[in-house]
Structure formats: C-alpha cells, structure tokens
Amino acid sequence: MFNIAIDGYMGCGKTSLMLGLAKKLKDFKILNTGAIFRGYAYGYDKLGLGDVTDGTIETLLKNVSVEVVFIGDDQHVLVNGEDVTAFLRTERISQLASIISAYKDVREKYMDVAKGFAKNNNCIMEGRDIGTNVLKHADVKIFLTADEKIRAERRLKQLKEKGEKASLKQVIKDMNERDSRDSNREIAPLKPADDSIIVDNSDMNLEETIEFCFDLIQKVLNKNKVINVTIDGYVCSGKSTIAKSLAKRIGFKVFDTGAVYRGIACAYVDMSCDEGQVKDEKYVKNFADQIDVKIDFIDGVEHVYVNGIDHTANLRTEHISFLSSQIACFSFIREKVLKLQRNFAKSNNIVMEGRDIGSVVLPDAEFKFFCTADDNVRAKRRFEQQKLLGNDVSFEEILKELKQRDYSDVHRDHGAIVITPTSIILDTTNMTLDESVEFCIKEISKKYPQFKNC
C-alpha cells in the first residue's frame, strides 16, 4: 500500500489538502484522524465530565466508542453508533480534542483505527503526528506551515462561515495555545519528521497548495513505477520509427516486436525450411519447436537472436517482411513471442510496437497509440525505403503487397490488428516524425508531467 502523511499547524489547510489530493490521485482513501479525536471529544462533552483528568479519561473510554465509516467517499464518525460528523467542527470540540489527544490511552485507541486503515488501503492521512508516529514509514510525508496571521485569518473565516462568533485576537490566542500544547505534549508531539517535506503555503491558495503537493507525490509514485507504452498500427504507418524516437526522447527502451517476427522469418530461411509450406500448421510447428528466440540490447539497439544467431542485419527486406506476416498467423509462434514480450515489459520502462500490443500483449499498458495513414502515403514510404536499400521494386507492387498485408493482419485468427477502446489514434498522413513524437509526448505528459520537456 502507498501511504501519504499530512501534518501541520491549525489553519494551514490540512483537511482541504487531503480532500483535494484524493480527488486528483484517485484510488486513494482518506482518513481524517483529527475527526477520531473530535469524536471522543464530542462523547466527553456529552457526558459532561468537566475538567480533563486521568479519571475522566478512564470514564470516557469505558462509556464511549468511536467508529469511522465511509458513506460513498465521505468519512463519517459514529459515537456510540450515532453519526455526529456534522457536530465536530466547533471551536469547543476542537480545543477539547487537542486536550484529550495528549492522553496515552486515547491515542492508543486512535492508533488502532489509523494503522489498520493504512495497512489495507492506499491512503492519505492527515493529523498532527502522522509522519512521526502513526505512519512512520509513509511513502510521502508533508508538513504544512504558514504565517501565524494568515493561519488565524483562515481559521476566523472558517468559524464565521459556521456562524460562530470570534475575533482575530481570540483566534490567534486559541491557535497559539493549541500549537504550544500540541508541540510540547509528552506523547507524540506535533513536529515535522526528519524526512518530511516542509510546505509553507503562506503565499499559496488552496489550488496552488494541492498542485504543489500533487507534483511532489507524483514524483515518488513514478520513481519506481514501470511504465509501458504501446504503439500499434498498419504497415508503414511509422510505428517503428516513432517508437525509436519516442523511446530515445523519454529515456525508455524500445521493443520492436516486428523485428522479433522478422528474426524468426530469417531463421526459417536460414534453416532452409520450405517456404511453400509456410501456411502448413504442422510443418511450421515443427520449425517453431526447434528455435530459441532471445533479444539483447547493444548500445541501445535491439538485436534479435534465434538459436544464437544474430539476424538483426537482415530484418528489413520485403521478402522477410512478407514471410514474417505469414508465420505470425500461427498461435504457437505468437505465444513464443508473447512470453518474451511480457517478461521484458515487467521490469523495463518500454515503448513496444507491433500490431496487437495494446489489445493482446500488454492490455494494461498505460498508453496505447494506434498509428494509421493514407494507403498511398504508406506505400510511398515503403517504396522509398526499399529503393534506399537497393531493392528493385515498383510502387504498384509495394501498394499491392501492403494491401495484402493489411488484409492478412486484420483478418487473422490470432492477434489481429484491433483499435482498442482506449487507443489514442495517431494519423501520420500529414505529420513529420518530430510532430508524431511530440503528439505522443503531449499525451504521456498529461499523466506524467516530468516528460513534458523531454
């Protein structure tokens, strides 16, 4: 579980920050620990126990039970089964909560609730000793502070909005007393943890404070997270080139799936297999059982090995490209490649390109791009590519084979080209390589701002 601790002084906006972060982060539950103490304070006040002593605290804990429940996303506090959430934000209850929270037996009750919650949830928890006591091993610890007068003005505004009468002078006095009491108490005093990030929001509004802390949390969340980017699409839509350029820009490895299939096709030729039987399942299965496929990266370049032979230099001929499409139709070939792909993706930030990466290979990838382009534009790209390689082919032949390849890829039984509901369409017809890569980076940066300036 990923835990976030928010501590700080009264009037800094701890609760508002917690609620704002929960909305932005999603899948995180919140626990307002102060509400637990306020629940006990409410119970204490209801019992009419007077001045707080060891004896009255003992009476409190014998007669009052506090429970936290969630109705939808909203935290509610039950005192002896009664929902008292609406009555916990008065100044009287706030001050009383500060007093009784200094007692060891009360804190033990609250600790049981808080620690159990954090153990079972990705959570954001706010209070006054979360990072130092409750969640000592929290992944992110934020300590809020602000100028005394600014905090008092915020608190005064809160009280007036609730219809309570107060003066700025009295609020400052109450605030200082509470801060002093909380900071100097013997048990779990209010203070930043050694690894807390101090956030002074004197000159920030709530939205700015939320954004600042959200960015801090995102950096930690993403630090050790493996991010997978998939690029699918039709032949000559630019998948391979975009994948390589994108990976270089954002510092990821690129997994060229097509190159793996082409490597297998090269091995088919190298082992003198009968190309006339490339559609014979039994024949190709016998071939597949004899090969061991591996990849390695040499100076950042993917190399494909089949039975220890590096076929990388021979992958881009039209003959091998077409043959690989035929071989890739068989499920046992795809399963062999699938295992290689998924194992690699588990431990690497990657850009993986192919034809069914986002739909079959990595269906949970965070970013799925689907490349397309006009048929004639794609055929022209392949024609120019083959001319540069010295291959004697005509544009008409290229266009015909491209359409055959598209038909084969869309209609094959296993791993057919599919645009998933979460695919981001990238039409490269009128886009340069740089424009295509910028498009991808812009989409990725919406979730991971650190890639914005790559």
**pLDDT score recorded for residue 120:** 81
The rounded distance, in Å, linking the Cα atoms of 282 and 174 is 84
Q: Express each pLDDT in 307-324 by its tens digit.
A: 999 999 999 888 998 999
**pLDDT score recorded for residue 386:** 86
**pLDDT score recorded for residue 293:** 94
Which is nearest to 134 in space by CA: 188, 77, 185, 181?
188
Q: Please, where are the H alpha helices in 237-390?
A: 239-250, 257-270, 281-288, 318-327, 331-346, 375-388
Mean pLDDT along residues 437-448: 91
Mean pLDDT along residues 240-244: 91
Q: What pLDDT band is residue 453 in, cutting at 50, 70 and 90?
A: confident
- What integer best gives the mean pLDDT of the chain? 90
81 or 128, which is more confident: 81
Mean pLDDT along residues 201-212: 94
Please answer whether residues 77 and 83 qualify as being in contact, where contact means their C-beta atoms are separated by less than 8 angstroms: yes
Structure tokens of 270?
Answer: 């190298």
Q: What pLDDT band is residue 69 in, cutting at 50, 70 and 90?
A: confident
Q: Tell me the percentage of the chain whose pLDDT exceeds 70.
A: 100
Q: Express each pLDDT in 158-183 by its tens digit.
A: 888 888 888 899 989 988 888 888 88
Q: Express each pLDDT in 34-62 by its tens digit.
A: 889 999 999 999 999 999 999 999 999 99
The rounded distance, in Å, linking the Cα atoms of 354 and 234 is 9
**pLDDT score recorded for residue 72:** 79
Q: What is the DSSP string of 135-146?
A: TTT-SEEEEEE-
Q: What is the set of domains in the chain, with CATH numbers?
A: 3-223 (3.40.50.300), 228-451 (3.40.50.300)
Q: What pLDDT band is residue 85 in, cutting at 50, 70 and 90?
A: very high
Structure tokens of 163?
Answer: 């219809």
Three-state DSSP class for residue 184:
helix
Structure tokens of 408?
Answer: 């084969």
**pLDDT score recorded for residue 389:** 82
**pLDDT score recorded for residue 284:** 95
**pLDDT score recorded for residue 326:** 92
**pLDDT score recorded for residue 110:** 85
Q: Please, where are the H alpha helices in 185-224?
A: 206-223
Q: What pLDDT band is residue 439 in, cutting at 50, 70 and 90?
A: very high
Q: What pLDDT band is residue 132 in, cutting at 50, 70 and 90?
A: very high
**pLDDT score recorded for residue 256:** 83
Residue 303 has pLDDT above 90, yes or no: yes
